[in-house]
Structure 1
Amino acid sequence: MKRETPGHLSRRQVLRRAGGLTAAALVGSVALTQAGTASAAVASSKRFDLTDGSDEWFREILLNEATILQSFAFDNTNKHLYTAQLVQAGRVLPGETRAYTGTERSTNGDLCITRLDWQGYIIGRMYLRGFGHGVSIGVEPSGNSAYLWTETNALADSNNDGYGTKIARFKFANGTVVQPDSQQVTRFDPVPGSDHNTVAIDPVNNRIAHRHRINGTTWKYSLYDLATFKAGTFTPLATITQPSVLTGPTFQGYTTMGQYLYTLDGTAYTYTYDSAGNVTGTSASNTNVTSIDWNTGIVNERRPSNAGQSLFYREPEGMAIQIPDMANPAAARLFLGFGSEESRTQTDKKASFYYKDLLV
């Protein structure tokens, strides 16, 4: 469950969250053979070894909102990290006349995008009203800034959570608030009538993956050349039906690089307490990472992940590809994101990031 109860912040945490901006700125396992159906011709490539241990990048940093991390993506050119969260309860954005609850924000699909440097400090934020749940985002570098790719035109599901029915592209503009019909937003509808639309970008091969649901039941992934998709031609290089091994678990994110699609699923730990409120035990980890061949739909690997296992309230949230050195894209990293909180009483959400970098 994604709670939004604020906790207490130290002065250093407040400064990090503020990011130096004033309030005025806001105005402006074993290999599996299970497969879904597939139709593709994607050039062969190496894949990340999911048995490789995960290295820590950031542990428990604060983002702009008190809500949990939903997803993230890298601007590898400018060395920026972008994260997506639901707007926290009680925040009043420019142009709004009242504060909204967390439930209302989720239903409407109101998101906050936070930009951080690669030292973990906030250097900007942007708000998206009516876009979606933020399950996955993409970043396309442009000069010293970037275009963001997200879901948009949110439609509430049976749980009253808003998810995108289209895809949006817009330039990051610090301190601004945009809506789906804002002038700077370009919208794409690659599969008319689908819902739960999200995207992820392969920065090594300049491709974009699109996850969506058809007829309220069937999950599909399609892979496109980014430039072709951006031009409005929706001819996929590959289309995969989601393998049934991903049907039961809670889906938490995905990314792509080369011939392989990677997915993340799982939920937060559950805790038991004694009469004094002390933690006496936790449930076992159920976080899993899966790799799937775009050409066949076959699941190559599905492995549990113990990354960040000592975090309190550890919930898997998002995946992305980082290229630490653009001169050496072969040294890419597969990143996993986690949301956590300090304790039972200090429940502002923090974000942690871990990566695998062994290609086979």
Structure 2
Amino acid sequence: MADPFDLSIPAERWLWKKDTLKDPTILQSFAFDEANEHLYVLQLTRGGSTAGDLCLNRLDLRGKRLGHMYLRGFGHGVSMGVQHTSDGTVWIWTEADAKGGYGRGVTRFRFVDGAVRTREDVKVRHPIPGSTHNQPSVCPVSRRIAIRHRVDDKPRYRIWDLDAFVARDYSEPVADFPQTGAHPDPKVPFQGYALHGDHLYQLAGTAYDARTNPPAKRGNVHVSCLDIRTGRLLDRQRTEAGHSLDHREPEGLAVRHGSEPRLCLGLASGQEGARRFSIYYKPQTA
């Protein structure tokens, strides 16, 4: 199983101030298709927050946009996942069936450049009846899927074997535990997570603010790690990655797999209506 990342290692810059996303809004989350060397990025469309309208971008690994599609009524885009099947099909996992801007379930679909999908076009799964804010993350190493969700407005994680989940067998989750430890200040917004082996990584923080989060202090962004076998917080570190960016809002966490795994975190910058995105990463070893 995958070794944990050392969160104390300084993050390194990978993509810097890219303006290649289809919509002029910030990124919300991202995930990698390693086999085809693609980077998928979710955005809320301008004015689409209440309805849960998303734009899904497909980029190459230099940040050039290769295509996009729109997802109407899906959710907020806090996390996403990519799944490869034995026949070579690439499935994109996102939240779905939005109410109040957040998904009450999840779904998977194939990327089709220029397409528009609505909740009626996909098969929505509701693995946790009555839950809200359903947000998926896929780990290709362990072949598991995590669903962050809320029950009685309290955030939790539930994790399944991916094959069982695809078969709609939700009866025996691998893990089920409450979200904890994302930030020293529990009022600071959660900004994304990623499942990797027996560990789950979380991102939390806010954009720069002259009064409450000034650039001179290099921000309040924290990355944390939970052990899915116990739900226990193993580590939490503040990161100064991209501290010179203006705005600098943390958005999205994902793992690049392969011979040199990387824990990647997204940062939004730029003025409203002309946002850019940067991605930094922490290697698995120093």
TM-aligned CA distance change 1:72 to 1:245, over 3 Å = closer
1:151 aligns with 2:95: yes
Distance in 1 (CA, whole Å) between partners of 2:284 and 2:91 is: 29
Q: Say whether 1:48 aligns with 2:8.
A: no
Residue type of the alignment partner of 1:222: R
Q: CA–CA distance in 1 between the matches of 2:254 and 2:70?
A: 21
Distance 1:355 1:138 in 2: 18
Aligned twin of 2:38: 80
Q: Report SS of the residue matched to 1:152.
A: strand
Q: Which residue of 1 aligns with 2:64?
A: 121
- The separation in 1 between residues aligned to 2:14 and 2:181, in whole angstroms, is 32
1:130 aligns with 2:73: yes
Q: CA deviation at 1:84?
A: 0.5
Distance 1:223 1:244, change over 3 A: same
Q: Which aligned pairs between 1:90-109 and structure 2 lie closer than 5 A?
A: 102=47, 105-109=48-52
- Contact persistence 1:154–1:164 (CA under 8 A): yes
Opposite residue 265 of structure 1, the aligned amino acid is: A
Q: Which amino acid is the alignment partner of residue 301 of structure 1?
A: D
Match of 2:251 among 309, 317, 337: 317
Q: Cα offset for 1:282?
A: 4.8
Task: Measure the CA separation in 2 of the matches of 1:296 and 1:144.
Answer: 34
Per the alignment, do residues 270 and 145 of structure 1 end up closer, same or farther by CA in structure 2, a change over 3 Å counting?
Answer: farther
Residues 109 and 163 in structure 1, CA contact (< 8 A), matched pair in contact too? yes
CA distance in 2, matches of 1:107, 1:282: 34
Name the CA distance, whole Å, in 1 between partners of 2:276 and 2:216: 19
**Shift in Å at residue 244 of structure 1?**
5.5
Q: 1:260 is matched with which residue?
A: 199
Does residue 1:225 correspond to 2:161, yes or no? yes
Instruction: Please give the alpha-carbon distance, in whole angstroms, between the structure 1 residues aligned to 2:37 and 2:53.
Output: 26
- Residue in structure 2 matched with residue 190 of structure 1 by the alignment: 127
- Determine the C-alpha separation between the residues in 2 that align with 1:221 and 1:108: 24
Deviations 1:22-50 (A, max 9, x none): xxxxxxxxxxxxxxxxxxxxxx6520000
Measure how far apart 1:284 and its partner are.
4.1
Q: 1:64 to 1:144 in 2, by over 3 A?
A: farther
Task: Report sequence identity in percent.
Answer: 42
Distance 1:332 1:244, change over 3 A: closer
1:245-301 CA distance string (max 9 Å, x none): 5532210000011111100000000137xxxxxxx9655410000001111111111
Q: Secondary structure at the match of 1:188?
A: coil
Structure 1: distance between partners of 2:267 and 2:84:
24
- Whether contact under 8 Å (1:78, 1:144) holds in the other structure is no
- Residue 214 of structure 2 is aligned to residue 288 of structure 1: no
More helix by share: 1
What is the alpha-carbon distance in structure 1 between the residues aligned to residue 246 and residue 16 of structure 2?
A: 11
Q: Structure 2: how far apart are the matches of 1:332 and 1:354? A: 13
Shift of 1:110: 0.4
Q: Is the 8 A contact 1:255 1:261 kept in 2?
A: yes
Residue 340 (structure 1) aligns with: 269
Q: Which secondary structure state, in structure 1, belongs to the residue aligned with residue 137 of structure 2?
A: strand
Per the alignment, residue 235 of structure 2 pairs with 301
Contact 1:76 1:141 in 2 (8 A): no
Residue 210 (structure 1) shift: 0.6
Show CA shifts across 1:209-242 (max 9, x none). 11000012x2110111111111101121111111
Match of 1:179 among 104, 118, 124: 118
- 2:108 corresponding residue in structure 1: 169
Higher strand share: 2
> What CA distance in whole angstroms lies between the structure 1 residues aligned with 2:174 and 2:215?
47
- Measure the CA separation in 2 of the matches of 1:198 and 1:264: 14
Q: CA RMSD in A?
A: 1.9
Query: How much has 1:145 moved relative to structure 2?
Result: 6.2
- For structure 2, the 5+ residue unaligned runs are none
CA distance in structure 2 between the partners assigned to 1:144 and 1:225 by the alignment: 20
